[in-house]
Structure 1
């Protein structure tokens, strides 16, 4: 019984971390904004004080928030230097984007295969909504990059593996910083291809086909790598 209780608490903590991370990366909680108080989160989420405090500790460790004693918890600038993001990792050129995508290839291909076996109907619905929102954006800018990454972060969440989720959260911080400084790799001309690639990933996840999910994610990221390489060749960054 104790193990079940502990696992449930960890799951609730991870869900709270993921939800707040998504709001931060999506700009719903911009840098400098104050998070709801512990009491408000407990009431709105129906979780314990322990869950909230563990979630805040995780967010602080990931460099997303900081607690000012006696004042509250605030969102920090995710593009500033930190443990796994910032100027020492992001120089602002397309080469940085290449490095990020190479890392994503090592993470997301297997994450997609695992997610296909573990995604719940509720998670698939959340993914569908995130995908629809990302597909609806015409402009290729920082906002579209945020929404695209939300879809990928939800896939990591479906694995139920906190290490995948934490790694992808860090990747997201770096990815957004790259887009802010170097510009998006996706152009309006190849947007339709990107939309189709994401739909193929979702379709594989929805039918619980791990091999197809793995293959479609690999194809998507390899194509993305080629698109960024094209930017490098054109701009000479």
Structure 2
């Protein structure tokens, strides 16, 4: 085991917490296993007993270990957390996209507000480029339109300055875009064009709020867009359900 370095007490405790947590994650310290005594840990890891005591208290607060009076400290015997099932491969139905839209509302409304506050001129140019790409003639092709739509939202997340927001959006990929489930929802070309015109107008409003560096306007426009998308998708689901339940014509 690696010996402790000369560090301020708080920093030494941080290092030991990280090290012991890693031992637990990697199975060096197994679930249900009793930890060495404070004296032994101090000797093995090269820290003082006060640092060891502080580290164990933090691990206990984090739910990784428990201390039993007069017995010792044990790694908590609990199953490892399951991997989060959230990715493009799990978004396969209209219902999945609808649930994802509800998640996106809570995430992207704040991302738009942060983008309005934090965006650089380069960020704004990138967002504008994606916005214009959605209006190009080629964007009428479903695959190109979906990619441009995704890039618009992804670049807003990047402009927010919050890496976690950006990483989540990037991980979800193009399947988070409702029109992946909407392409067959319109009976006529006129209906589809009206839908696209409405979406373009909503995107323009989001961009305007970010360009003006108005967090309130950007948040309001993003909420309106995603909420409208949710309602459009709900109507599509209802129409499909009605069609499936309708009796065949004689």
SS across alignment from 1:135: coil
Is it true that 1:227 corresponds to 2:232 in the alignment?
Answer: yes
1:129: which partner in 2?
A: 129
CA distance in 2, matches of 1:116, 1:178: 26
Q: Which runs of 4+ in 1 moved over 6 A?
A: none
CA deviation profile, 1:29-73 (whole Å, cap 9, x unmatched): xxxxxxxxxxxxxxxxxxxxxxxxxxxxxxxxxxxxxxxxxxxxx
Is it true that 1:167 corresponds to 2:168 in the alignment?
Answer: yes
SS across alignment from 1:163: helix
CA distance in 2, matches of 1:169, 1:136: 23
Contact 1:142 1:176 in 2 (8 A): no
1:22: which partner in 2?
A: none
Structure with the greater relative contact order (CA < 8 A, sep ≥ 6): 1 or 2? 1
SS across alignment from 1:124: helix
2:86: which partner in 1?
A: 84
- State the 1:107 CA deviation: 0.6
- State the 1:150 CA deviation: 0.1
Q: 1:124 to 1:201 in 2, by over 3 A?
A: same
State TM-score, norm by structure 1.
0.58
Q: 1:178 to 1:100 in 2, by over 3 A?
A: farther
How many pairs align? 152
2:112: which partner in 1?
A: 112
Contact 2:88 2:171 in 1 (8 A): no
CA distance in 1, matches of 2:221, 2:206: 5
1:93: which partner in 2?
A: 93
- The structure 1 residue matched to 2:195, chosen from 167, 190, 199, is 190
- State the 1:231 CA deviation: 0.9
CA distance in 2, matches of 1:109, 1:118: 14
CA deviation profile, 1:175-208 (whole Å, cap 9, x unmatched): 26992xx454783221111101000000010010
Contact 2:112 2:218 in 1 (8 A): yes
Contact 2:150 2:174 in 1 (8 A): no
1:65: which partner in 2?
A: none
RMSD over equivalenced CA pairs, Å: 2.4
How is 1:139-178 mapped onto 2 (pairs within 5 angstroms)? 139=140, 141-175=142-176
Contact 1:140 1:188 in 2 (8 A): no
- State the 1:139 CA deviation: 2.2
Q: 1:188 to 1:203 in 2, by over 3 A?
A: same
- State the 1:93 CA deviation: 2.5
CA distance in 2, matches of 1:115, 1:107: 12
2:221: which partner in 1?
A: 216
Q: 1:124 to 1:177 in 2, by over 3 A?
A: closer
CA deviation profile, 1:66-98 (whole Å, cap 9, x unmatched): xxxxxxxxxxxxxxxx963254x22x3311110
CA distance in 1, matches of 2:177, 2:155: 16
CA distance in 1, matches of 2:178, 2:203: 22
Q: Which has the larger radius of gyration?
A: 2
Q: 1:114 to 1:177 in 2, by over 3 A?
A: closer
